[in-house]
């Protein structure tokens, strides 16, 4: 077969027509995407859900239960009503004011509990850092060795769920799956909600 000869103007017309078709498809896809985003946003509430506990309203925000008291915002990993139902022993009298402007040390291998305490108490303390406890094995030799004369929070696994204090030490002990709930319990008590 012999190929039909095309003039330059015919080639330009074909190229333009193809460009218009491609541009039309691209515009259709973009408008469809915008429409999908707008349609998806209908029916979604802009307000966050929340729960009530002991007369306080906790708002769910980015996977956390947040509570604003005065100028301070506190973050909890669990609904406080779930924390309340956890079987535990608690013997704790300290309040957050005992940490205000002080150095606080934490001994913990449980990172979520450690970071939740840092996030919440850090706004009141002079400084928070990891530490080891005198008389116990220390895996990180760069950490300072502290005693119960210092503000030391010890978080560790145990067969029983309990929170108690000895001197300036607070112990948060429990099953691995309950340590973060126990940390929430500790913080709720520190800020006076429980």
Q: Give the mean model confidence (pLDDT) for residues 137-165.
A: 94
Q: Which of 8-17, 37-46, 104-113, 131-140 has the highest mean pLDDT?
A: 104-113
At 172 the three-state DSSP class reads strand
Q: What is the DSSP string of 3-45?
A: PPP--HHHHHHHHHHHHHHHHHHHHHHHHHHHHHHHHHHTT--
Distance CA 130, CA 153 (A): 9
- Spatial CB neighbours of 51, under 8 Å, sequence gap ≥ 6: 57, 58, 60, 65, 79, 80, 81
Looking at per-residue confidence, does 138 or 58 come out higher?
58
Q: For the segment 156-166, what is each residue's pLDDT rounded down to a tens digit?
A: 999 999 999 99
> 45 vs 32, which has greater pLDDT?
32
More confident residue, 48 or 44: 48
Q: Cβ distance 34 to 28 under 8 Å?
A: no
pLDDT at 36 over 80: no
Averaged over 152-178, what is the pLDDT? Answer: 96
Sign of CA dihedral 10, 15, 19, 21: positive
Of the candidates 88, 92, 62, 87, which has an alpha carbon nearest to the alpha carbon of residue 76? 62
Q: What pLDDT is attached to residue 174? A: 96
pLDDT for 46 equals 44
Q: What does pTM read for this prediction?
A: 0.73
Q: What is the residue extent of each domain of the chain?
A: 88-190
């Amino acid at each position: 077969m012999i190929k039909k000869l095309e003039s330059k103007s015919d080639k330009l017309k074909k190229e333009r027509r193809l460009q218009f078709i491609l541009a039309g498809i691209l515009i259709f896809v973009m408008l469809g995407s915008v429409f999908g985003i707008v349609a998806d946003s209908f029916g979604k509430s802009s307000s966050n859900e929340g729960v009530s506990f002991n007369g306080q309203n906790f708002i769910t925000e980015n996977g956390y239960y947040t509570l604003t008291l005065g100028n301070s915002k506190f973050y909890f990993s669990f609904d406080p009503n779930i924390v309340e139902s956890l079987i535990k022993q608690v013997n704790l009298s300290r309040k957050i004011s005992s940490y205000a402007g002080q150095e606080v040390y934490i001994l913990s291998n449980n990172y979520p509990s450690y970071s939740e305490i840092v996030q919440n108490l850090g706004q009141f303390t002079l400084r928070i850092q990891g530490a080891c406890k005198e008389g116990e094995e220390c895996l990180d030799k760069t950490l300072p060795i502290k005693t119960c004369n210092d503000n030391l929070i010890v978080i560790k696994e145990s067969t029983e769920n309990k929170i108690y204090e000895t001197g300036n030490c607070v112990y948060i002990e429990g099953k691995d799956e309950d340590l973060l709930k126990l940390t929430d319990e500790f913080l709720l008590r520190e800020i006076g909600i429980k």
